[in-house]
Amino acid sequence: MGGGITAAIPSRWALTSRLRMPFWLIPGDLLLALPTLAPISLDTYSKMAVVASNGGLIPWQAGIATPIGRFQFVLGREVGFTFYGYGKEEDRLVIPSTVPGRSDTLIGLQSLSFDFPLLEYRPFRTFSQAQSSSLALQLYGGFEVPLHVSVVRPIGAPEPHLRTIWYLGLRLVFDWRYYL
């Protein structure tokens, strides 16, 4: 059996942020409409926001309730940003050498990852006066862009060419809230 280079990336420390927002017709349209419509007609803007929260002008993002849970197409409603290697020091990765007799290269790496949920499934949601909980399964896709690469060892080794990595994943989310 032939040996090969694996594409696994070790666990890394990161700063993560998410932005989730419904849209009326295209992603970001409520943000663009706010400075122009709100001063003229807050009522019109409020109606747009209500339509957006119910799936948009073309209700392709409306939730579909079934006996086994709720499904919703969510592309464009949420984006996640993950900054890798921006902690106390850069992430360190070993790039195996493909040339016999040459040692592996240790690099420092900073990168930015974007992820976009595509489809969401919520099997249940419970409420009470003081708390709520839900479980969600999200199918998502994204990409990670290397921003800064530096060779740590061996000194003088050529800097490797890294390219954008595309990925598809499945995320399980448990959301529990307690209200005061």
* pTM exceeding 0.75: no
| Short-list 171, 109, 180, CA closest to 142 | 171
Given the DSSP bridges, would you call strands 78-84 and 165-178 parallel, antiparallel or unpaired? unpaired
Q: Which residues pair with 44 in a beta bridge?
A: none
Tokens of 83: 């900054």
Residue 63 near residue 56, CB atoms below 8 Å = no
Domain boundaries, the chain: 14-62, 66-180
Tens digits of pLDDT across the chain (180 residues): 444 454 556 678 889 999 888 877 777 777 777 777 767 777 777 788 888 877 777 777 778 888 998 898 888 888 999 999 888 777 888 888 777 777 888 888 899 999 999 999 988 767 677 788 888 999 999 999 999 888 888 888 888 888 999 999 999 988 887 777
Q: Which two tokens stand for residue 59?
A: 């209700």
